């Protein structure tokens, strides 16, 4: 007997679709994961006690990874502590550090930036990591939210270029996170579960403003190599990302944590990956000590599989839909899996 009403949280449909599915457990080529975390950004200040570095390196290698890029918002003693945790495995773990942007109103900020970045490079850091808190939560001492294209930050981008450091920036979260949590929001379940992820707040920069700032930052610093994380911030609109990549040769993207977006638009994604095959980096947003969900990425990139899960969760966290493979050619796969990263020295 049919029920007259059903709460959304109880809705767990089981697909009756029968289609052929090619199983992929290892990548066709070895990979460099350019978006991982081994420090406090995801794991918290007690991160050193939460995983065994040697065991984590083995887990990544077992998944087909030959090297990872460790992205952490640390500097000074925080960076030293992180490097001590991973120092026996620096041939496998490349580290990006950061800088305290809340100091930008101080008269010695430029000196601080140059000294800190030079010291970081001398310690083996290969690039800089900036997170969405620049733009969405951090303020300078005047109480203003720090914009990505604030001219006072230019010394960071210029010094990075001078030192040969790459800048990887997580600028914005999904577009839906900037909209009301209502019946029209496609990420309703996720935001209802974690309301703190919502940026629908009139005091904050809008998504459109962040995209304008992001573009200005890249445009006004052509000598700096920027990797814009999570599909260039706008994986819901690959046409827009494609235009940026066409306009700005210093811009790259990674695909970390946006498999749900790429995979639900397979025709558009395939064309995008073919066109920009030299500017796309592999990554999944993996974290030391946590489950590694590589398999659906391999399946998406390598097969023509239809309507499969991008997440092992019963209710997928990034949208209640399934994805499709885009069957990339080997030459493109090899670039995305590791050659593009190697060309950048990662």
Q: Where are the domains of the chain?
A: 30-293
Give residue 3's pLDDT band: very low, low, confident or very high (50, 70, 90).
low
269 and 242 Cβ atoms separated by less than 8 Å: no
Question: Which residues make Cβ contacts (< 8 Å) with residue 102, sequence separation at least 6?
Answer: 138, 139, 140, 141, 146
Average pLDDT over residues 96-103: 96
DSSP helix/strand/coil, 189: helix
Give φ, ψ of 301 to 5 degrees. -75, -35
Q: What is the pLDDT of residues 34-77, one digit of tens each?
A: 999 999 999 999 999 999 999 999 999 999 999 999 999 999 99
Q: What is the pLDDT of residues 280-328, one digit of tens each?
A: 999 999 999 999 999 999 999 999 999 999 998 888 888 889 999 999 9
Of 298, 281, 275, the residue nearest 340 (C-alpha): 281
Reading the block at residue 269, the tokens are 């994604």
pTM for the full model? Answer: 0.96
Instruction: Please report the pLDDT score of residue 8 as a whole number.
Output: 77
Indicate the angle between helix axes 154-163 and 109-122, nearest 10 degrees. 30
CATH 3.40.718.10 assigned to domain 30-293? The reply is no
């Amino acid at each position: 007997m049919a029920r007259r009403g059903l709460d959304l949280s109880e809705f767990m449909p089981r697909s009756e679709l029968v289609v052929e599915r090619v199983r992929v457990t290892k990548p066709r080529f070895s990979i460099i994961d350019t978006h991982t975390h081994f420090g406090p950004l995801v794991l918290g200040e007690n991160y050193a006690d939460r995983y065994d570095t040697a065991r984590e390196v083995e887990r990544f290698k077992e998944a087909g990874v030959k090297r990872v890029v460790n992205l952490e918002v640390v500097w000074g003693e925080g960076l030293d502590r992180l490097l001590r945790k991973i120092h026996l495995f620096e041939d496998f773990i490349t580290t990006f550090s950061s800088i305290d942007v809340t100091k930008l109103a101080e008269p010695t900020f430029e000196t601080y930036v140059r000294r800190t970045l030079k010291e970081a490079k001398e310690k083996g850091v290969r690039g800089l990591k900036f997170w969405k808190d620049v733009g969405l939560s951090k303020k300078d001492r005047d109480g203003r939210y720090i914009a990505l294209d604030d001219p006072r930050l230019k010394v960071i981008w210029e010094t990075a270029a001078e030192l040969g450091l790459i800048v990887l920036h997580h600028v914005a979260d999904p577009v839906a996170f900037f909209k009301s949590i209502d019946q029209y929001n496609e990420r309703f379940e996720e935001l209802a579960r974690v309301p703190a992820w919502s940026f629908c707040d009139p005091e904050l920069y809008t998504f459109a403003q962040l995209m304008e700032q992001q573009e200005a930052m890249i445009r006004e610093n052509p000598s700096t190599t920027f990797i814009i994380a999570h599909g260039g911030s706008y994986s819901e609109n690959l046409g827009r990302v494609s235009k940026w990549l066409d306009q700005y040769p210093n811009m790259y993207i990674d695909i970390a944590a946006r498999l749900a977006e790429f995979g639900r638009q397979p025709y558009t994604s395939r064309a995008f990956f073919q066109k920009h095959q030299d500017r796309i980096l592999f990554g999944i947003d993996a974290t030391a000590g946590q489950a590694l969900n590589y398999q659906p990425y391999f399946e998406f990139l390598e097969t023509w599989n239809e309507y499969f899960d991008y997440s092992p969760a019963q209710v997928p966290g990034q949208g209640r839909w399934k994805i499709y493979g885009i069957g990339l050619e080997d030459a493109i796969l090899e670039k995305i899996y590791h050659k593009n990263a190697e060309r950048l020295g990662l």
